[in-house]
Chains A and B, each alone.
Chain A
Amino acid sequence: DADVTQTPRNRITKTGKRIMLECSQTKGHDRMYWYRQDPGLGLRLIYYSFDVKDINKGEISDGYSVSRQAQAKFSLSLESAIPNQTALYFCATSDFTQGELFFGEGSRLTVL
């Protein structure tokens, strides 16, 4: 089983719908991240959490919200999806002592 698991792996939805992407990890890391990847570009940070009570906006947080339900779980929500949120979304974890990132397999979201 993967150390960082994302669900769903693929989702097609319509404009205006609420969508939640979930991430769980078994690495025991404190830090969790949500990144977005658009075609031909690198990953951009949406939100990050250094522990359960610490949640911070990244560079592209508008239109997104997150919840850190437990150390091992970090979910990303799109309250009202729009077509330009069509992208590949990645969850990642890291340990605060070292900082090496470990990624989930990605969630491909299409908003029609």
Chain B
Amino acid sequence: GIQVEQSPPDLILQEGANSTLRCNFSDSVNNLQWFHQNPWGQLINLFYIPSGTKQNGRLSATTVATERYSLLYISSSQTTDSGVYFCAVEYNTNAGKSTFGDGTTLTVKP
């Protein structure tokens, strides 16, 4: 069935460290998004990236659609980066509906 797998499930970093979060998906996709859920529960759009590479400040993302994975890079992490990072995928066979992974919980310690 439709699957979105995120790894690692949990990640603890010291402030200033870099990290890579991974999202694996099981079929061809129309869309892929990365979100950050802050400690107050709000979902913040990070990247809309069905393919290719994008950068926004300290964050960047790469999706390799042919190999069915996406990576989110966080450089020089800050305590405000803490929270849960979700990958959401819209499969070609399920157009208009996005399936979420279970997220990676990131804790950045001062």
Contact = CB atoms under 8 A, between A and B. Distances in A.
Contacts of A1: none
B97 A100 contact: no
A39 to B, nearest CB: 11
Contacts of B51: none
Interface string A9-20: 000000000000
B81 interface: no
A48 B48 contact: no
B96 A99 contact: yes
Nearest to A103: B43
B100 A58 contact: no
Contact of A45 (B30, B42, B97): B97
Most buried by A among B90, B96, B101: B96
Nearest to B43: A103
Q: Is the interface of A mostly helix, strand, loop or mixed?
A: strand
Interface string B84-99: 0010101000001111
B102 A40 contact: yes
B70 to A, nearest CB: 15
Nearest to A45: B97
B45 A100 contact: yes
B83 to A, nearest CB: 13
Contacts of A105: 41-42
A46 B35 CA distance: 19
B96 A96 contact: yes
B31 interface: yes
